[in-house]
Structure 1
């Protein structure tokens, strides 16, 4: 009677360990803390496989991944540059020199950003933003 209980206990441990490795929280700890986003199908599939084989641990894995945000793709990254450094890229009439701006961003962020890419979306600044840089809006 002792051998079957060891086999059952070993099988239970193996199933729980395999289910825990299917959790996106363990594979992508850097994604924790996200609130929403696009669901990563790889993590969702791993959790779904867990539901197929072991219902309760699979549901727990889904719950953990949704609660921690590890099931979502990572969000966009942001960076900030001091306004004093950006002032060098502005001309006196308030227009932005893309070459100077690209050089500033490359030196500050360590990445080359293609500011001449046709997919780039440029937004106009407000009068208040120009006033913060002591610039006069161009008509």
Structure 2
């Protein structure tokens, strides 16, 4: 009776390990939130292995990776724009005009960023949060 329980335990452990390795969201949490890009072949292969062994969890892994954006390769580009130019996109009441911001980013960086995309996550901040980090509000 000990051998069948060890086999069942081994199969259970192996299946759980394959499911942990079949999701790019676990390995690359910093990639979450990307909207588009080139698909990372390593993450796609891990998800495909999940489909080979277990169809439903593999499909779920693909779905989660596409939904979170973890399947896309990181862009690897950084850009900087002078704050004086960005101030043109801020109205008198302190709200950011997305169309003006998009025009500024397109003219300065040459990139058309989808600021009106419904998947875009916008974080709201406060003066207290800036003070916590030792920053001064200058809008």
Specify the alignment match of 1:83 in structure 2.
84
Q: TM-score, normalised by structure 2?
A: 0.51
The alignment status of 1:40 with 2:43, answered yes or no, reads no
The residue aligned with 1:8 is 8
Partner of 1:50: 50
Matched, 1:22 2:22: yes
Q: Which runs of 5+ in 2 are unaligned?
A: 86-108, 111-139
What pairs up with 1:46-125 in 2 under 5 angstroms? 46-75=46-75, 76-83=77-84
Distance 2:73 2:6 in 1: 40
Which 4+ residue blocks in structure 1 deviate beyond 6 angstroms? none
RMSD over aligned Cα atoms = 2.7
How many residues matched?
A: 87
Q: For the pair shown, which has the larger CA radius of gyration, 1 or 2?
A: 1
- By how many angstroms is 1:69 displaced? 0.5
Contact residue 20 and residue 61 of structure 1 kept, 8 A: no
CA distance in 1, matches of 2:53, 2:8: 16
What is the TM-score of this pair, normalised by structure 1?
0.51
Deviation track 1:65-114 (CA, whole Å, cap 9, x = no partner) reads 11111001113433333338xxxxxxxxxxxxxxxxxxxxxxxxxxxxxx
| Structure 1 position 24, deviation (Å) | 0.9
Give the unaligned 5+ runs of structure 1. 85-121, 124-139
